[in-house]
Amino acid sequence: MDLFRDHILDHYKHPRCHGTLDDADARVEDANPLCGDKLVMDFKFIDGKVAQVRFSGTGCSISQAAASMVCEAIEGKPIDEVKAMSRQDVLDLLGVDDLGPVRSKCAMLALKTVKAAAYGVANWTDDEEDELA
């Protein structure tokens, strides 16, 4: 378990894909009021792929590490693959089996934000959001 904790702390202390994109095609902001996490993600799409993604925000180590890992995982991927990402994919990136209901919301904030950009915020439904919890 310490190895996974170290992996999460490394992404928290040294986030990948951190920052903003001036010429972003999409910018999605979301928050997790239970923990106070706030996340902003900028996306550049080219030829049906996530060409670049950057995130900024504040929050607990789980939310910020998950954002770092998810961004790193989706950069260069086709949008259809991004749409297919699941809760389990995020848990696998974090290296944990489960986080419990409160911490799960922290970890899934990045996935929720990424999917909002991939699908377009206007197409997001409450049912799809509930699947992430």
Q: pLDDT tens for residues 29-85? A: 999 888 899 999 999 999 999 999 999 999 999 999 999 999 999 999 999 999 999
- 94 is a domain residue: yes
Tell me what pLDDT residue 115 has: 93
Domain presence at residue 91: yes
The CA distance from 91 to 25, in Å, is 28
Q: Tell me, what's the pLDDT at 131?
A: 54
The residues, ordered by sequence, that sit 6+ positions from 91 with a Cβ below 8 Å of its Cβ are 97, 98, 99, 107
Query: Mind spelling out the 3-state secondary structure of 85-125?
Result: CCHHHHHHHHCCCCCHHHHHHHHHHHHHHHHHHHHCHHHCC
Within a domain: 49: yes
Of 102, 126, 110, 131, give the one whose Cα is nearest residue 34.
102
For residue 24, being part of any structural domain is answered with: yes
Q: What does the pLDDT read at residue 99?
A: 84
Residue 128 belongs to a domain? no
Does residue 130 form part of some domain?
no
Please determine, for residue 123, whether its predicted confidence score (pLDDT) is greater than 50. Answer: no
* pTM for this predicted structure: 0.85
The pLDDT confidence band at residue 103, using thresholds 50, 70 and 90, is: confident
Q: What is the CATH number of the domain that holds 66?
A: 3.90.1010.10
36: domain range? 2-120
Would you say residue 4 has pLDDT above 90? no
- Check pLDDT > 90 for residue 7: no
Q: Is residue 110 part of a domain?
A: yes
C-beta neighbour count of 106 within 10 angstroms: 23
Please state the domain count of the chain.
Answer: 1
pLDDT at 126: 44
Residues linked to residue 46 through DSSP beta bridges, in sequence order: 49
Structural domain contains residue 127: no
Greater pLDDT, 127 or 113 = 113
pLDDT band of 130, cuts 50, 70, 90: low
Amino acid found at 125: T
